[in-house]
Amino acid sequence: EEALLEIEDLNLSFDTYGGEIRAIRGVNLSLRKGEILGLVGESGSGKSTLAKAIIGVLPKQNTRIKKGRIWYKGLNLAGEKERVLRRVRGRGISMIFQDPMTSLNPTMTVGNQIMEAVKTHQKLPSTEAKEKVLQLLQRVGIKDASLRMKQYPHQFSGGMRQRAMIAIALACKPDILLADEPTTALDVTVQAQIIELLKDIQKENGMSIIFISHDLGVIANVADRVAVMYAGKIVEIGTSTDIFYHSKHPYSWGLLSATPSLETTGDVLYTIPGTPPNLQQSIQGDAFAPRNKYAMKIDQIKQPPMFRVSDTHFAATWLLHPEAPAVDAPKEIR
Ligand code: ATP
Ligand code: MG
């Protein structure tokens, strides 16, 4: 299938007083037209950094792209000037965040904020622009749109604020939507509604979505493909079936067994022991090795390449080396 976005060997660091934080350490990823790609991983694995790199909103002062490219419509977003990135943000790629309150302007009505987004996308006479705002509000499921457009974000519930953010994101008719934990702050019922809304909109517009979450249950419900991130790298990628039923990476096994849904009843069987590596220190071998009970000698020395499991499924673990001993996924997740 056609790739809309192609990330090649992206390496990105933050300079801090404590030293260099290597937040993205060689990411390769392609996003296809019309797919929902789930991105999962523990806190600090680099999910938000990756999304912000794509849309070009990382802080200029201390972000350093050390290597790699982000291809989108013939542009390398990793090297483009702010002027170009702004145009891409207005036309092709939008992002929504966990807490809409931080991205909505508290001093401006919701209607005017959507209006601004509409106007950056296309020049329209005011009456038509206002009509578009109403349509967008209705599309994201906000009732009494003509009243609601005159209200301020604090007059909206959490779920409605997220809907308003989605309306802003849609105003520019993006072909890529980056959704960074868009439902994490919401209660379960509202969470399900927002997910359904995103799925419906995706079907209508045929856009591609990168859906970030640390909740595998949510990812299972939305994603066509899933990428698992650990310490700034994608360690496994495949279709939802590949990842949820045939995963090959011991880190994915850990995430899956730490998820109470998938057939187990409530009690968490297993959490991944240990903590992610310090990204300020250089990492020898496989970054997951210290937490991997199946680690071998080579894990201490050399980073595993992405081994091919099938045409759709890849994982970076030495367990997939032809000479490695056969290891089965733990029985709780089989
Ligand atoms: P979470 O699930 O908690 O949202 P995440 O996977 O989104 O985590 P990131 O926010 O991308 O993780 O962070 C990756 C690493 O980069 C972390 O070590 C984080 O502390 C660091 N980091 C992120 N932004 C900055 C920044 N602006 N300056 C310095 N370090 C940063
Ligand atoms: Mg994040």
Closest CA to 264 of 317, 328, 334, 182: 334
Among 110-119, 130-139, 181-190, 192-201, whose mean pLDDT is lowest? Answer: 181-190
Query: Closest ligand 1 atom to the C-alpha of 44?
Result: 12
For the cut 80, the answer to whether the pLDDT of residue 269 exceeds it is no
The dihedral through the CA atoms of 263, 198, 95, 243 has a sign that is positive
List the structure tokens of 330. Answer: 């733990």
Which ligand lies nearest to the CA atom of residue 39 in the structure? 1
Which ligand lies nearest to the CA atom of residue 179 in the structure? 2
Cα gap 130→135, rounded to integer Å: 9
Cα gap 255→107, rounded to integer Å: 41
> Residue 269: CB partners within 8 Å, gap ≥ 6?
257, 258, 332
Confidence of residue 270 (pLDDT cuts 50, 70, 90): low
Choose the residue to mutate in 47, 102, 181, 283 for probing ligand 1, maximizing ligand atoms within 8 Å of C-beta.
47
Tens-place pLDDT, residues 40-87: 999 999 999 999 999 999 999 999 999 999 999 999 999 888 888 888
Place of tokens 């993006």: 174
The H or E element containing residue 239 is: strand 233-239
Q: Which of 82-91, 168-177, 306-315 has the highest mean pLDDT?
A: 306-315
CB contact at 8 A, 212 and 37? no
Q: Whose CA is nearest to atom 25 of ligand 1?
A: 14
Distance from the alpha carbon of residue 46 to the mean position of ligand 2, in angstroms: 7
Distance from the alpha carbon of residue 48 to the mean position of ligand 1, in angstroms: 7
The pLDDT of residue 158? 92
Closest CA to 229 of 80, 50, 22: 50
Which ligand lies nearest to the CA atom of residue 52 in the structure? 1
Distance from the alpha carbon of residue 44 to the mean position of ligand 1, in angstroms: 5
The pLDDT of residue 1? 65
For the cut 50, the answer to whether the pLDDT of residue 264 exceeds it is no
Which ligand lies nearest to the CA atom of residue 43 in the structure? 1
Q: Whose CA is nearest to atom 31 of ligand 1?
A: 14
Distance from the alpha carbon of residue 251 to the mean position of ligand 1, in angstroms: 19
Mean pLDDT of the chain: 92
Q: Whose CA is nearest to atom 26 of ligand 1?
A: 14
The pLDDT of residue 100? 76
CB contact at 8 A, 202 and 36? yes
The pLDDT of residue 262? 47
The pLDDT of residue 21? 97
Cα gap 318→272, rounded to integer Å: 19
Residue range 200-217: average pLDDT? Answer: 94
For the cut 90, the answer to whether the pLDDT of residue 230 exceeds it is yes
Cα gap 227→315, rounded to integer Å: 10
The pLDDT of residue 328? 87
Amino acid at residue number 126: S
Tens-place pLDDT, residues 86-112: 888 878 999 998 887 788 999 999 999
For the cut 80, the answer to whether the pLDDT of residue 204 exceeds it is yes
The pLDDT of residue 140? 96
The pLDDT of residue 101? 78
For the cut 80, the answer to whether the pLDDT of residue 271 exceeds it is no
The pLDDT of residue 103? 84
For the cut 60, the answer to whether the pLDDT of residue 261 exceeds it is no
The pLDDT of residue 265? 47
Distance from the alpha carbon of residue 309 to the mean position of ligand 1, in angstroms: 30
Distance from the alpha carbon of residue 155 to the mean position of ligand 1, in angstroms: 31
| Higher per-residue confidence, 262 vs 206 | 206
Beta bridge partners of 15: 20
Confidence of residue 330 (pLDDT cuts 50, 70, 90): confident
Confidence of residue 331 (pLDDT cuts 50, 70, 90): confident
Query: Closest ligand 1 atom to the C-alpha of 15?
Result: 29
Place of tokens 């994201």: 140
Residue range 144-148: average pLDDT? Answer: 95
> For the whole model, what pTM was predicted?
0.94
List the structure tokens of 54. Answer: 């794509």
Distance from the alpha carbon of residue 43 to the mean position of ligand 2, in angstroms: 7
Distance from the alpha carbon of residue 47 to the mean position of ligand 1, in angstroms: 8
Which ligand lies nearest to the CA atom of residue 23 in the structure? 1
Choose the residue to mutate in 10, 13, 21 for probing ligand 1, maximizing ligand atoms within 8 Å of C-beta.
21
Place of tokens 């990492």: 283
Choose the residue to mutate in 12, 14, 214 for probing ligand 1, maximizing ligand atoms within 8 Å of C-beta.
14
Q: Cβ atoms within 10 A of the Cβ of 36, count?
A: 22
Confidence of residue 197 (pLDDT cuts 50, 70, 90): very high
CB contact at 8 A, 133 and 149? yes
The pLDDT of residue 19? 94
Residue range 183-212: average pLDDT? Answer: 94
Interface predicted TM-score (ipTM) of this complex, two decimals? 0.99
Q: Whose CA is nearest to atom 19 of ligand 1?
A: 44
- Which DSSP state fits 310? S
Burial of residue 112 (CB within 10 Å: 0-12, 13-18, 19+) is middle
Residues with CB under 6 A from ligand 1: 14, 16, 21, 23, 41, 43-49, 59, 62, 214, 279
E strands, 17-162, in order: 19-32, 36-40, 63-72, 75-76, 93-96
